[in-house]
Structure 1
Amino acid sequence: KEDISTNFSKIGGTIKVFELTLKSDLEAVYEEILKYSEKSEGKFKYSLNLFGSKNLKLENILKNTKKIFKSKNISARYFNKDDGKNLSSGQIIGNNILKKGFDFNLVDLGGIFYFGKTIQVQDIDAYSKRDFSKNRDMQVGMLPPKLCQIMINIGRKNISKNIENLNIYDPFVGLATVLIEALNMGISGVFGSDLNEKMIEESKKNISDFISKNNLKNISKKFEKLNAKFINESSILKENNIDLIVSEGYLGEIMTKKNISLDRINKQKDSLLSIYTKFFENLTKTDFNGKIVICFPFWELNGKYIYFSEILETLQKYCVVENIFENTEFNLATKTGSLLYKREKQLVGREIFKLKIRK
């Protein structure tokens, strides 16, 4: 539990953590909730979430708890405003439930019940605050901070160094979102380059502001203007022991419903393939021997996804493509071992690859 409390804000992809114990039936669940109420001073406040059930209704369970408390003359109320819906992390944080009371979770696996309280919930306000405090160019697509954390964690898996001793490099640094999240996770070496001079200046300011606001010490950082196609000329790679390259990369021109078309997507593919072929070819000429976690775009057109499959030949020529979910209990990767990420209503998604340069 101590480790969860300390490291939860660095995980990114985990919305909520709760501990569960097996219960014989629903009556045992109600008895457990009653036990928690005995520990409460004043009005007992709680919320309840139901997972996996095909037969039970959350609304009915909540009403039953209300009846039980009334029969025991216990003053209680639940936070679920819509009786039939689980609470989101935003609602749990917004109502300060974990401090005012308890957030309970009931998992129904075909009549086998697990019940327990929430230990940690993702603080979406903290992510938003970091995201919107950055100087930004709204014409540049924004990489979600949570996704940055996920990508960094994917990359640093099996690296023996302590996280505070890692050096991370983003060669398409943009607004330094990846590097800000790296600092927030405890990484002390952050490096970035970009073709756009304006992005370099914005990155420097965003990083300096974050370091200042959080009173961070002993941070190594450097930024340089560089066309990523000529990554072999990077002074950052030459002068620093970089452990990890993590980057959104360049996803191509911004597309809207009005201007997206198959022809335009194909033109973007050609342009991007040219950039990334040179990038990976020249990266093989450097001494970099760490892991790379990088995004490539895929597009939604007329309800169908169009993938940047042309990049695979380049990746397989210059890199070992690793399965992101290798040696885990989950099999959520694509056939190529990548991970897909796309927000609802967005036309461009991100396909995330974990790579290692062939030597």
Structure 2
Amino acid sequence: MQSIAILGRQPALGIAELESLFGTDSLTPLLPHAAGLDLATTDIPFSRLGGTVKLAKVLTILDTTAWTDIQDFLVNTTPEHAEKLPEGKLTIGLSAYGLRVSPKQLLATGLSIKKTIRATDRPVRLVPNPETALSSAQVVHNRLTDERAWELILLRHGAQTILAQTTAVQDIDNYTERDRGRPKRDARVGMLPPKLAQIIINLSVHDTETRQRTILDPFCGTGVVLQEAQLMGFDAYGTDLEPRMVEYSQANIKWSQDTFQPVGTGWRVEQGDATHAECPHRYNSIACETYLGQPFSAEPTPDKLSQVMRDVDTIHRKFLQNVTRQTQPGFRMCIAVPAWHTARGVKHLKTLENLAELGYTRMEFAHARSDKLIYHREGQVVGRELLVLEKR
């Protein structure tokens, strides 16, 4: 194990994303919100990961989970390593995961480390924290991945403790700009978060290669998937039934290119009906949020929900039949489809029961259950269920 991934709010999505890109054998689930990778941090394209909030390099593994032993190790070893850093003030932050330690104890450990390093005439600043783990915002704003800074992660794994140093963290300000800074937005068609778009794209492929590969989004809406695909290095092709959405996607992609200078430069957005249009352009995989149906601010009546589900199901069945006609066996895609949360449980598309008849196999992950691959926030009726499908 060379690296640690600290996962986001819904860790199953992050686990599946990592497994899709790097393979089952490279991945070791640790805590519910963490995973180990048998890859160096330099070999992991962190900026394209939507479900991992921190990436850390494993420094050592301690044969203890007792905090007093961990503190003794840190106090005794950090001064030597601090001497190898460039001159100037050192900034330190500590984050503990799965260990029996309080924020007060963690602060005391940090102060002990600070005192020991300052005894070598090195100025030190400790990042205070009322919790046992620093947030990604704290890591970013305190610049804890700079050359004169550490975020030391201490993570329990069975009877051992993994000590790791954070090398990358999600830039929340950049994500906010990619979301709210876009010139064309429309809440009526749903607001797909860029992080979720990244996860959908990464689930639609089986490795990290992007060169000369094109992602198709046949329900492109305002172009979030197309934007994120380009930032990863893919070429992007999108269609939408509504001309206004085509215009919105075009405007947003032009803005993204001017703002972020993405690696992927090829793109095209056209009007098209995903249920029957033939795609005239070559594409390697499909990544999209499909039609989610009528939005609900409160749970609808059973009759109303049944009607909406029937209408949405018809569109999805026709869409999948259309893709089947145009692709070869082994073709892979990830589509986000609606899943309705009710007082009686989660309601799924009827089409999911007939995937084999439609010519698809639903891909399963070794480390993430399919029923956990639903993006959902508290209070929402309509969630997004991520289906990873392969043409039979």
With normalisation by structure 1, the TM-score equals 0.85
Counterpart of 1:51, as a letter, is Y
- 1:7, 1:140 → 2: CA distance? 30
Match of 1:277 in 2: 317
Q: Structure 1 stretches of 5 or more lacking a match?
A: none
Give, in whole Å, the separation in 2 of the partners of 1:145 and 1:260. Answer: 28
Equivalent-residue separation in structure 2 for 1:308 and 1:296 (angstroms): 9
Instruction: Tell me what 2:302 maps to.
Output: 262
Moved more, 306-315 or 174-183: 306-315
- Which residue is equivalent to 2:169? 121
The Cα RMSD (Å) is 2.6
SS state of the match for residue 157, structure 1?
coil
If asked which structure has higher relative contact order (CA below 8 Å, sep 6+), I would say 2
The CA deviation string for residues 213-249 of structure 1, in whole angstroms up to 9 with x for no partner, is 344588333222222221xx33xx2x22211111100
Residues 23 and 29 in structure 1, CA contact (< 8 A), matched pair in contact too: no
C-alpha displacement of 1:267: 1.6
Output the CA distance in 2 between the equivalents of 1:109 and 1:288: 43
Letter of the structure 1 residue corresponding to residue 219 of structure 2: F
2:370 corresponds to 1:334 = yes
Q: Percent identity?
A: 29
Contact 2:374 2:383 (C-alpha < 8 Å) held by counterparts: yes
How many Å apart are 1:202 and its aligned residue?
Answer: 0.4
CA contact (8 A) 1:261 1:301 kept: no
Instruction: Note the alpha carbon deviations across 1:141-198, whole angstroms, 9 max, x for none.
Output: 1111111111211111059xx412111111111011111000000012x111111111
The one-letter amino acid of 1:9's match is: S
Aligned partner of 1:90 among 104, 126, 137: 137
Shift of 1:274: 1.1
**Residue in structure 2 matched with residue 13 of structure 1 by the alignment:** 51
Match of 1:59 among 98, 104, 110: 104
Structure 1 residues 203-352: aligned runs within 5 Å: 203-215=249-261, 219-230=265-276, 233-234=277-278, 237=279, 239-257=280-298, 260-287=300-327, 290-302=331-343, 305-325=345-365, 328=366, 330=367, 332-334=368-370, 339-352=373-386
Structure 1 pair 288–171 and aligned structure 2 pair: CA distance change class (3 A): farther
Secondary structure (helix, strand or coil) at the match of 2:188 reads coil
> What is the DSSP-based 3-state SS (H/G/I as helix, E as strand, rest coil) of the residue aligned with 2:129?
coil
Moved more, 277-286 or 85-94: 277-286
Deviation at 1:110, TM superposition (A): 5.4
Contact kept in structure 2, 1:167 and 1:241, CA below 8 Å: yes
How far off its partner does 1:305 sit?
A: 3.3
Distance 2:239 2:328 in 1: 16
Q: Which of 175, 181, 187 is equivalent to 1:138?
A: 187
The secondary structure found in structure 2 opposite 1:350 is strand
SS in 2 for 1:297: strand
Distance, in Å, in 1 between the alignment partners of 2:222 and 2:252 is 7
SS across alignment from 2:304: helix
Q: Which residue is 2:124 aligned to?
A: 76
Alignment-derived partner of residue 198 in structure 1: 244
2:74 maps to 1:29: yes
- Distance change >3 Å, CA 93–CA 5, structure 1 → 2: farther
Matched letter for residue 61 of structure 1: L
Q: What CA deviation, in whole Å up to 9, does each residue of 1:245-275 have, x standing for no partner?
A: 1110011111102x63333322211011111
CA contact (8 A) 2:222 2:252 kept: yes
Partner of 1:250: helix, strand, or coil?
coil
Measure the CA separation in 2 of the matches of 1:300 and 1:322.
22
Give me the whole-angstrom Cα distance separating, in 1, the residues matched to 2:200 and 2:117.
50
CA spacing shift, 1:169–1:218, aligned 2, 3 Å: closer
Match of 1:181 among 228, 243, 247: 228
Number of residue pairs aligned between Structure 1 and Structure 2: 340
- Pair 5,125 (structure 1): closer, same or farther in 2 beyond 3 Å: farther
**What 5-or-longer segments of structure 2 have no aligned partner?**
1-38, 64-68
Instruction: Provide closer, same or farther for how the CA distance between residues 322 and 18 of structure 1 changes in structure 2, counting only shifts above 3 A.
Output: same
Distance in structure 2 (CA, Å) of the matches to 1:255 and 1:274: 20
Separation of aligned partners in 2, 1:225 and 1:28: 62
Q: Structure 1 residues 73, 192: closer, same or farther in 2, change over 3 A? A: closer
Per the alignment, do residues 3 and 47 of structure 1 end up closer, same or farther by CA in structure 2, a change over 3 Å counting?
A: closer
> What one-letter code is carried by the residue in structure 1 that aligns with 2:351?
I
